[in-house]
Amino acid sequence: MIELFTWTTPNGEKPIIMLEECELPYELRLLDISTGKQKESDFLAINPNGRIPAIRDTETGQRVFESGAILIHLAEKSGRLLAKTGPDQAEALSWTFFQAGGTGPMIGQVHYFRNAKERSDFAIRRFETESRRLLGVLDAHLKDREWLAGDYSIADVMNWSWAVSGLKGLEARGDFPNLSAWADRVGARPAVRRALDKLQSAKSALPAS
pLDDT in tens, 144-187: 999 999 999 999 999 999 999 999 999 999 999 999 999 999 99
135 and 55 within one domain: no
Residue 67 lies in a domain: yes
110 and 128 within one domain: yes
Residue 92 lies in a domain: yes
Cis bond upstream, residue 190 (ω within 30): no
Would the pLDDT of 98 be above 70? yes
56 and 129 within one domain: no
Residues 86-107, mean pLDDT to the nearest whole number:
95
118 and 55 within one domain: no
CA–CA gap between residue 6 and residue 70 (Å, rounded) = 12
100 and 69 within one domain: no
Give residue 48's pLDDT. Answer: 94
Q: What is the CATH number of the domain that holds 127?
A: 1.20.1050.10
Number of domain units in the chain:
2
Q: Dihedral sign for Cα 140, 146, 152, 156, please.
A: positive
183 and 112 within one domain: yes
118 and 133 within one domain: yes
List Cα–Cα distances, 208 to 20, 30, 35, 85, in angstroms: 27, 14, 12, 47
* Residue count (the chain): 209
71 and 161 within one domain: no
Would the pLDDT of 50 be above 70? yes
Residue 209 lies in a domain: no
Residues 27-34, mean pLDDT to the nearest whole number:
91
Would the pLDDT of 141 be above 80? yes
Burial letters for 118-156: b for 16+ Cβ neighbours within 10 Å, e otherwise?
eeeeebbeebbebbbebbeebbebbeeeebbbeebbbbb
Please check whether residue 47 is in contact with residue 65, taking contact to mean a CB–CB distance below 8 angstroms.
yes
58 and 28 within one domain: yes
Question: 189: which residues sit within 8 A by CB, 6+ positions away?
Answer: 21, 152
Residues 31-43, mean pLDDT to the nearest whole number:
87
**pTM, 2 dp:** 0.94
Average pLDDT over the chain, rounded to an integer: 94
Give residue 205's pLDDT. Answer: 84
Would the pLDDT of 43 be above 80? yes
pLDDT: is 197 or 116 the higher one?
Answer: 197
Would the pLDDT of 119 be above 90? no
Q: Which pLDDT band, with edges at 50, 70 and 90, does 35 fall under?
A: confident
CA–CA gap between residue 16 and residue 59 (Å, rounded) = 18
Q: Which pLDDT band, with edges at 50, 70 and 90, does 62 fall under?
A: very high
CA–CA gap between residue 138 and residue 161 (Å, rounded) = 13
Would the pLDDT of 208 be above 80? no
Would the pLDDT of 8 be above 80? yes
Q: Tell me which residue range forms the domain holding 52.
A: 2-80+191-204
Q: Which pLDDT band, with edges at 50, 70 and 90, does 99 fall under?
A: very high
97 and 177 within one domain: yes
Give residue 209's pLDDT. Answer: 59
CA–CA gap between residue 185 and residue 103 (Å, rounded) = 19
Residue 156 lies in a domain: yes
57 and 31 within one domain: yes
Q: What is the CATH number of the domain that holds 33?
A: 3.40.30.10
174 and 140 within one domain: yes
Residue 199 lies in a domain: yes
